[in-house]
């Protein structure tokens, strides 16, 4: 099997406006989905990320992303294994938060050097 990274992208304003109950509901849904990935032998690891960030270029460090108007950011990741990019995308499509249009998931294959 090949390894893939799911980059979870969310609207930062939506995240900041969520109540504690809404946040816990989203966490429970994502946890259940992650447990299903693990039960299927696909989940290798994953973690949520804090919203604070630094974006670096050679001569520039921005505290809020590459552009001042950035609204969406990577809020977490999953490292999974799947047969192919299409299979990985199929697994990502099962995410309840994706289906509810709360997040976007970028699916990226890991580059493995022999």
- Per-residue pLDDT tens digits for 38-82: 999 999 999 998 877 777 778 776 665 544 455 678 999 999 999
User: Domains of the chain by range and CATH?
Assistant: 2-109 (3.30.70.1060)
pLDDT of amino acid 39: 97
CA distance 97 to 53: 23
Give the count of beta carbons closer than 10 Å to the beta carbon of residue 15: 16
Name the token pair of 76: 């977490």
The answer, yes or no, to whether residue 103 has pLDDT greater than 90, is yes
CA distance 96 to 78: 15
CB 10 within 8 A of CB 75: yes
Selection from 49, 31, 50 nearest residue 96 by Cα: 31
pLDDT of amino acid 12: 81
Contact residues for 21 (Cβ-Cβ < 8 A; gap 6+): none
CB 4 within 8 A of CB 110: yes
Per cent of the chain over pLDDT 90 is 68
pLDDT of amino acid 93: 97
């Amino acid at each position: 099997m090949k390894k893939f990274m799911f980059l979870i992208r969310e609207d930062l304003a939506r995240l900041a406006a969520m109540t504690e109950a809404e946040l816990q509901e989203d966490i429970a849904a994502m946890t259940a989905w992650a447990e299903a990935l693990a039960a299927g032998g696909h989940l290798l690891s994953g973690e949520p990320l804090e919203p604070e960030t630094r974006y670096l270029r050679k001569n520039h460090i921005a505290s809020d992303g590459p552009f001042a108007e950035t609204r969406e950011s990577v809020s977490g990741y999953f490292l999974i294994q799947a047969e192919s990019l299409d299979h990985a995308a199929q697994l990502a499509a099962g995410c309840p938060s994706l289906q509810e249009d709360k997040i976007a998931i970028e699916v990226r294959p890991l580059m493995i050097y022999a």
